[in-house]
Amino acid sequence: MREQLNTLNIKSKEVGLKMHKGKNKFMTNYENDDSIQIENASIEKVQKYKYLGKSTCIKDLTKEEVDIRVRAGWSCLSRNGQIFLDKNMPLSLKKQVYDQCILPTMTYGCQTWSLTKMIGNKLKGAQRAMERKILGIKIKGKIPCKNIRQQTHIKDVVLFAERQKWNWAGHVARMSDNRWTKRATEWQPRIGKRPRGRQPLRWSDSIAKVKGRLWRIEAGDRNRWRLDAEGYILQWMDEAS
């Protein structure tokens, strides 16, 4: 960790940037690392940190992050209420604004998510509520979600998130310059073992379930990886439905 922060400080200076010692934080699961010194300035150790609107933590915070994304999606819909709530506005325009504004807001950072069935249902439930809001339909009407989607034609939020994750996984696997992103993704602890009982879902588990533990090798073929995306997404949707 000290080596990485020192490298970041040096590389920043090479391009004319200055690392802000007060705003930079670090996280580690090693208990003895209380602080790191960079040029006589102490870098604070934290358990959770928010960067560019995304919460980062030692533990998996996908559920908490999805809650934040759902609230951000509703906020975005409210800000564009003059479009979505106007009954005279063409539905095709509403779809375009939704896919270009609200969907990216709800799935910001989804490439790092470990989606479970429960979290996927939370996203889908929020999206269905938004669709009813856009169409002016009450939940008491008991209109099937399939019929509502046939009217809105908006992109499915879980499908979109899983496709983004698949594309990102292939991109990371094909990295050849040993950058931090690849090193962090492939890192394996030297000591310790996973606790007893049902294990929490890891980021790569859903991909490895479809392509096997050697999925990083198969991702080297960019064209094949793109073709395999549909199989991965549809299988996930079958399980989540």
Sign of the CA dihedral running 169, 173, 179, 184: positive
Q: Give the pLDDT score at 33.
A: 59
- Please write down the HEC assignment for all residues of 192-204: CCCCCCCCCCCCC
Q: Give the pLDDT score at 235.
A: 67
Q: Give the pLDDT score at 101.
A: 95
Q: Give the pLDDT score at 117.
A: 87
The per-residue b/e assignment along 69-86, b for 16 or more CB within 10 angstroms, e otherwise, is bbeebbebbeeeeebbee
Q: Give the pLDDT score at 32.
A: 62
Q: Give the pLDDT score at 98.
A: 96
From first to last of its 241 residues, the chain has per-residue pLDDT tens of 677 777 878 888 888 888 777 777 777 766 665 677 777 777 777 777 777 777 776 676 788 889 999 999 999 999 999 999 999 999 999 999 999 999 999 999 999 898 888 999 999 999 999 999 999 988 888 889 889 999 999 999 999 999 999 999 999 999 988 787 888 788 776 666 767 777 778 888 889 988 888 899 999 999 999 988 888 887 656 554 4
Q: Give the pLDDT score at 31.
A: 63
Longest dimension (CA), the chain: 65
